[in-house]
Chains A and B, each alone.
Chain A
Amino acid sequence: MKVEYVNSFYKATKDVLQLLVDIEPQRGEIKVVQDLGSNKDANVELAVVGDLKGTILFSFPKNMTLEMIKIMSGMEMDKIDNFASSALGEVANIIGGNALTLLSQHNYTCDIAPPRIFLGEYKALPVGNGKALLLPLSTPIGEFDITIHLNEGN
């Protein structure tokens, strides 16, 4: 997996979160993982199709999710309801869209399917071929992960 994939998603995440929730995520150390899974509370899956094929998984802890939606909406949040999960899915969707715009500058033309949101543990899906990269990110309101599994399509 190429470095521009990770950098595009990191830059898009940083820009979008700065704008939407006034936080600047800091990169942790990238890990190679064998499957797409997470024990965090709220997971958003984006399927990528086109020149690159695969899945991007955003995994957030509950308290961070609630804090993000609170910052955006100005409303108190005590549970991840339909409103909060929909907003979270849309944040991930916007990040994904911006990352694909960045990837298009490296001549990859891709599209993303509508986000799928999973509350509770995300069941690990083995990645078919190749490995996935897990990028941990830390912010003042919590730590979250982006797992990137992309392959160049044939």
Chain B
Amino acid sequence: MMWKDKYKIGVEAIDQQHEELFRRVSNFNQTIRNEVNWEAKLDKVKETMLFMKDYVIVHFNDEEAYQEQIGYPQIEEHKDAHAKFKQGIDNYVKIFEEEGFTEEKIQEFGGKLMAWLIMHVGNMDQKIGEYVKSKGGQA
């Protein structure tokens, strides 16, 4: 699995969503890389892709609402990072709409999505946890 405990930020609601997101991306990557014939698994790939796209948006919205609630000072920078992340996904959604769900492009997307997610949660989101701790613990 992709998830590691070091990615936790110490805010339970967000950590749970992160774990779910990692689980979904991990399952997605296992699906696109297993030996099953591409055509046979295409429906599952499409379904998972659409679910993940929606789940990323739900999670980012929840996380931004939480940042507002605690008065997180770097919220604008964080919103920009979320917008870029969503843009990255949208660019691939557009490619899939125009070129179809080709194995090559889906694999390419899966590799990038994994790196983006680990980097975002492992780096940028940790700063939310640090801020919460600096303010005296779990918010």
* Separation of A66 and B112 alpha carbons in the complex (Å): 15
Mark each residue of chain B from 15 to 57: 1 if its CB lies under 8 Å from any CB of chain A, else 0. 0000000000010011011000000000000000000000000
Which residues does chain A contribute within 8 Å of B112, judged by CB atoms? Answer: 86-87, 89-90
Which residues does chain B contribute within 8 Å of A16, judged by CB atoms? Answer: 119
* Separation of A91 and B108 alpha carbons in the complex (Å): 13
| Count of residues in B whose CB is under 8 Å from the partner chain | 22
Q: Is A20 an interface residue (CB 8 A)?
A: yes
Task: Pick the contact of B118: A72, A75, A85 (CB < 8 A).
Answer: A72
- CB of A69, distance to nearest CB on chain B (Å): 8
Which residues does chain A contribute within 8 Å of B32, judged by CB atoms? Answer: 83
**A20 and B29 within 8 A (CB):** no
Assuming A72-B2, A91-B115, is B33 touching A86 (CB within 8 A)? no
B81-122 contacts to A (CB < 8 Å) = 103-104, 107-112, 114-116, 118-119, 122
Which residues does chain A contribute within 8 Å of B115, judged by CB atoms? Answer: 20, 72, 87, 90-91, 94
**A86 and B108 within 8 A (CB):** yes
Q: Is A30 an interface residue (CB 8 A)?
A: no
| Count of residues in A whose CB is under 8 Å from the partner chain | 20
**A73 and B119 within 8 A (CB):** no
Tell me if A's interface is mostly helix, strand, loop or mixed.
helix
* Separation of A20 and B6 alpha carbons in the complex (Å): 11
**B111 and A90 within 8 A (CB):** yes
Known: A20-B119, A72-B115, A94-B119. 5 other contacts (CB 8 A): A16-B119, A73-B26, A86-B112, A89-B111, A89-B112
Show the binding face of A for B, using Cβ within 8 Å. 16, 19-20, 69, 72-75, 81-91, 94
Name 8 A/B residue pairs within 8 A (Cβ), A-sorted: A20-B118, A73-B29, A82-B108, A83-B33, A86-B111, A87-B115, A89-B111, A94-B115
